[in-house]
Amino acid sequence: MRMKEMVRRTGVHERLLRYYEQQGLLTPDRLPSGYRLYGESDVETVRRIRCLLAAGLPTALIAQVLPCIRADDEHLVPTCPDLLAQLRREGERITRAIEGLQASRAILDTIITAAPSEVPGH
């Protein structure tokens, strides 16, 4: 299928599909004219990429993860032994980021709560 059909099937903008290709996440065939030609498996690959991006993984890690996962019903399942350790480290990184954001939010809430009910000049 050509780019426009791929966009329609995946809901992903052309620019993102090209970016995924630049990052080594997608490798569509090329017609002699230079047009990209996507297969059915590319639709599933884009869905996996979107899922992994939503999980907070950077594209560099997704490039390593993609060959090491398979779909099991609605879930992605790791198939490479080293992958689980990488994903655990990434989960820990995300947890630290969440904790940092929660601490920032608590500080902001404290400042907001300490403000008088009507701040002069506003």
pLDDT at 82 (0 to 100): 84
**Residue closest to 39 by CA, chosen among 25, 29, 24:** 29
C-alpha atoms less than 13 angstroms from C-alpha of 69 in its C-beta half-sphere: 24
94, pLDDT greater than 80: yes
Give residue 86's pLDDT: 87
The pTM of this model reads 0.76
Residues 40-93 pLDDT 10s: 999 999 999 999 999 889 999 999 989 988 888 778 888 888 888 888 999 999
Give per-residue burial for 65-84: e unless 16+ CB within 10 Å, then b.
bbebbeeeeeebeeeeeebe
